[in-house]
Amino acid sequence: MRRPRATDVEVDRSHDYGYCNARIRGMWSHLLDRGSLEQLVDAETLDAQIRYLSGTPYKADIEEALIYGHTVASVDRALRANVGRTWLVVLKILPEQGVGLVKAVLANWDIFDLKTILRGAHTQLSQAEIIDSLMPAATLSAAELSELAAAGSVRSVVDTLATWRMPYSRPLDAALPEYHRNGELAPLELALDRWYYSSVAARLQHRHDAGKRLVASVVGTMVDIENLRTAFRLIGAELTTAAIAEYWLEGGAHISQPSFVSLCEAADIEGILNAMRRTPYAKTLEAAAVTYLQEGSLSVLERALENLTTREVLAARRLDPLGVGVVVAFLWAKQNEVSNIRIAVTGRSVGLPEERMRRELILV
């Protein structure tokens, strides 16, 4: 039987964004600013970072999590608890007409977590190792994520999702035979992405408001960036045009299937940058290309694209100041803050240089 989930909460909802947006703006004012994150990075030990976080709105969650010890895992637990509670508050105060759009946005992090769990199960990582890499999600609770992380194999993860009657199980189940045939995760990840973007498009189909335009634009950018990521990874792969076209995700704002194929057939990164010259991503990619050439790591380009997505979504606050835009932007800002805190805390615990930590942060 399907478990009741946090997002099933039904409350009397207003049709007015006045209360919701004012409260969200109040919550926004509690987010850590650039200076606070700098101080967190500058803190010399994990204990100093925990002390610092105890003076922020994370205080109650940090204090509660510290009973499990002064460890990175405790901080992670606190962050997850805080984000989970925040999502619940947002979903409770949201006007009825915005719930679908916000759930669609929140599902993005479920997809991220499911991909992480699948990768962990594929490479036989331990439950703890998988949980350390998860983001706090809304529709999947911490207990559910933990159970999925303990599944042990890709097949078990998909079966568990099917038992819970989660919609994510359908695309995964369909792609499972191909996974078993090739032993590669790509078909499963692609199936999840396709399902997610098509379900968002289906939700948007019957709406005719500013919220629709905004979410469609955000999702268009996300699809483009996902296609670009794939193109970076496929450089040098000797695939046929038809095989490359299989990897293309529909729904992007600027990358059509033919242009995706030509991107993937580029000989090197420079070829991709040249092909992207007329798109809004050119500036970001060119700026990141310099660092990429120095370090030779694709993660530099992927980080730059993530940064771009975050900026695009946060701009929604200005594009739709009286509607769902403020809520969508807040969800992103909160998730980004948690990522930044995790980078600072994990970075300190593994002895990452401060300069490197600063580079990894997405400060907007």
Q: Which residues of this chain interact with another protein, rule CB under 8 A?
A: 14-16, 18-27, 29-30, 93
User: CB of 96: closest distance to another protein in angstroms?
Assistant: 13
User: CB of 15: closest distance to another protein in angstroms?
Assistant: 7
First to last CA, the chain: 43
User: CB of 22: closest distance to another protein in angstroms?
Assistant: 3
Instruction: Please give the Cα distance from 187 to 119 (Å, whole number).
Output: 12
- Nearer Cβ to another protein (2/208): 208
- Nearer Cβ to another protein (27/298): 27
Q: Which ranges in the chain belong to alpha helices (H)?
A: 17-28, 34-42, 46-53, 59-65, 72-93, 96-122, 127-132, 142-149, 154-163, 169-182, 186-205, 210-233, 241-246, 257-264, 269-275, 282-295, 298-314, 316-319, 325-349, 354-360
CB neighbour list of residue 20: distance below 8 Å, 6 or more residues apart? 14, 93, 94, 95, 98, 327
CB neighbour list of residue 109: distance below 8 Å, 6 or more residues apart? 135, 136, 137, 138, 335
How is residue 338 written in tokens? Answer: 């948690």
User: CB of 17: closest distance to another protein in angstroms?
Assistant: 8
User: CB of 170: closest distance to another protein in angstroms?
Assistant: 37
Sign of the torsion formed by the C-alpha atoms of 117, 129, 336 and 269: negative
Question: Exposed, middle or buried: residue 249 (CB in 10 Å: 0-12, 13-18, 19+)?
Answer: buried
How is residue 79 written in tokens? Answer: 């962050």
Q: Which of 362, 304, 300, 307 is nearest to 337 (CA)?
A: 362
User: CB of 197: closest distance to another protein in angstroms?
Assistant: 30
User: CB of 78: closest distance to another protein in angstroms?
Assistant: 20
- Nearer Cβ to another protein (58/292): 58
- Nearer Cβ to another protein (18/177): 18
- Nearer Cβ to another protein (19/68): 19
How is residue 218 written in tokens? Answer: 């955000």
- Nearer Cβ to another protein (26/351): 26
- Nearer Cβ to another protein (57/220): 57
- Nearer Cβ to another protein (20/72): 20
Sign of the torsion formed by the C-alpha atoms of 86, 91, 94 and 100: positive
User: CB of 83: closest distance to another protein in angstroms?
Assistant: 16
313 to each of 10, 274, 361, how far by Cα in Å? 27, 26, 17
